[in-house]
Structure 1
Amino acid sequence: MFAYIIMKISNSVEIFMLHQLIKNKLPGILCLLALTACTVLASALVFPAQLSDSVTNEFGYVMQIVTYSAGSEGFLFTLFVLCLGVTWTLKGDSDIIEKGAQLTVQLFFLLVLSFAGKSLLKDITQSPRPYTELLAEYQVIKSPQYFYQLDQPLKDAAIDDVESLVSSWRTMHWHGEKDYSFPSGHTIFVAICVTFFGGLMVKSKQYFACITLVTWATSVAVSRLWLGMHRPVDLYGSMTFALMLYCIVPSHLVWLDSLIKKLPPPLR
């Protein structure tokens, strides 16, 4: 009887905790679902991309800026802009220090785990990038898998061999990213941004900002397909991985509250 009561209490606590988790993170999850739906529709229009097609400088430049905004070239600037928007939203809040600290730690863990997980998954799956299929089609390499057996200079040489057939707006990115395809690091980043920042935007009723965020994230995903860097499955896998991290990483840490309370009044 006693064990039965304990089990019932335990189940009730688990249901309550699950309910609180869903309630707290549902806005971010819905934003990610919106991104997924937009990406599915866009992928049907863009993929497979004709990588040997000519590209205007204007369109190539736009694709470059979009993909850079979520890559090593510009993700810090993107984060700065998004964090600035969150700071503005919290402005005037009585417990801005506590909320800001919790959000900062949550975002930190999401980004660190996503970057580490991306690298691990690439090594495990070893999926060739789509542009290696083009290299094999033009008989520059034996097969897409063979590309990854080459050293860096030979990889660059293989890409150089199709420079006359493929726009430099694409090949310049191929030279910069010669690792494996699955999952897409750019898409993981935008998916994290959509769940984390998009969820906050929905909670503060900044719907236009949220729509803008989802639109930007979709354009990044599309740019990865257009460049020949990824397949749709890479994008969907990235979003699934980001969703798992978002659900696992806690949005509130009790120990952090205790730490903040120990700070001198001027700092809190």
Structure 2
Amino acid sequence: MIDYIANKSKGLLLLAFSLYSLLPVVLIGVDFDLGQSIEPFVGRFMTLLTDSAGNSGFLVTLAVLSALTLRLKFPRIKFLSLAIQLSLLLVICFSAKTLLKHSTESPRPYTEYLAQVDLIELPESFYQLSLSEKNEVIMNVTSNVSEWRVHHWLGEQDYSFPSGHTIFVAICIAFFGGLFFESRKFTWVAGLMIWAAGVAYSRLWLGMHRPEDLIGSVVLAALIYLVVPKIPIPMLKQYLPTVLFNKGLI
């Protein structure tokens, strides 16, 4: 058990650091004026950050991080083991995220703004509307709310807890960050952590999540990362066809 945890210690350490980086936000609080005007550059930058961990960009992020991992020049069979582990982590994390969203039914912060401007009675009321009614309510604030925020509000109308974007970021920190740390690629680790902090901030700034959503997502990802084992290479050698090894494919 000690060896098992030690093998994951680098990734868990980086996740703990990411939680520590969120501490100032929790202590000071976050109170963005969702109706404030936004410079186009800021809107584009925040959108780019949040999209890099969302449906429209997470595959690109995975491709970039995977390309960096290939530069570590592990044996091919280790790459296969890592790919299986990463696939399991992503499937389990996103399945858990979907289950928790429907279980907690926590309204997104922007629904509180919609209630403040009297477009809905309560944040919870938003989720009783049909899709077309939700869109209509959001479009009613376009004269006061930046198009950059409205775009995301229209695109994400599910519940707030946990944050799928943050879960993805946390898996990247634990999995790729752990590999980079072990390989002493500290510049890569630093870049990964800065990107992760940027994505977290963008989710708060857009009115999509609260700090507790982000913290809960990191904790959830850490627990799943802890219980999903690395696939032992001897086991792969046992079950993979011998011809793959003979031809040097693995």
Q: Shorter-chain-normalised TM-score: which range?
A: over 0.9
Question: In structure 1, what is the equivalent of residue 37 of structure 2?
Answer: 54
- 1:203 pairs, out of 166, 179, 182, with 182
- 2:240 pairs, out of 244, 248, 260, with 260
Question: In structure 2, what is the equivalent of residue 156 of structure 1?
Answer: 135
For structure 1, the 5+ residue unaligned runs are 1-17
> Matched residues in 2 for 1:175 and 1:37: separation?
32
**Deviations 1:65-121, CA, capped at 9 Å, x for gaps:** 00000000100000000000111112xx4xx12111110000000001111111000
> Matched residues in 2 for 1:45 and 1:213: separation?
25
Displacement after TM superposition at 1:252 (Å)? 2.6
- 2:9 pairs, out of 26, 30, 38, with 26
TM-score by length of 2: 0.95
Given residue 224 of structure 2, which amino acid in structure 1 is its aligned partner?
L
Given residue 13 of structure 2, which amino acid in structure 1 is its aligned partner?
L
For structure 2, the 5+ residue unaligned runs are none
Displacement after TM superposition at 1:46 (Å)? 7.0
- Asked if the contact 1:70–1:189 (Cα under 8 Å) also holds between the matched residues in 2, the reply is yes
TM-score by length of 1: 0.89
Q: Which has the larger radius of gyration?
A: 1
> Matched residues in 1 for 2:26 and 2:204: separation?
8
> Matched residues in 1 for 2:189 and 2:83: separation?
19
Question: In structure 1, what is the equivalent of residue 21 of structure 2?
Answer: 38
Given residue 157 of structure 2, which amino acid in structure 1 is its aligned partner?
K
- Asked if the contact 1:39–1:222 (Cα under 8 Å) also holds between the matched residues in 2, the reply is no
Give the RMSD, CA atoms, in angstroms: 1.3
> Matched residues in 1 for 2:27 and 2:118: separation?
28
Displacement after TM superposition at 1:228 (Å)? 0.2
Q: Secondary structure at the match of 1:99?
A: helix
> Matched residues in 2 for 1:170 and 1:45: separation?
23
Question: In structure 1, what is the equivalent of residue 220 of structure 2?
Answer: 241
**Deviations 1:18-40, CA, capped at 9 Å, x for gaps:** 21112100000111111111122
Number of residues paired by the alignment? 247
| 1:66 matched to 2:46 | no
Question: In structure 2, what is the equivalent of residue 132 of structure 1?
Answer: 111
> Matched residues in 1 for 2:90 and 2:32: separation?
30
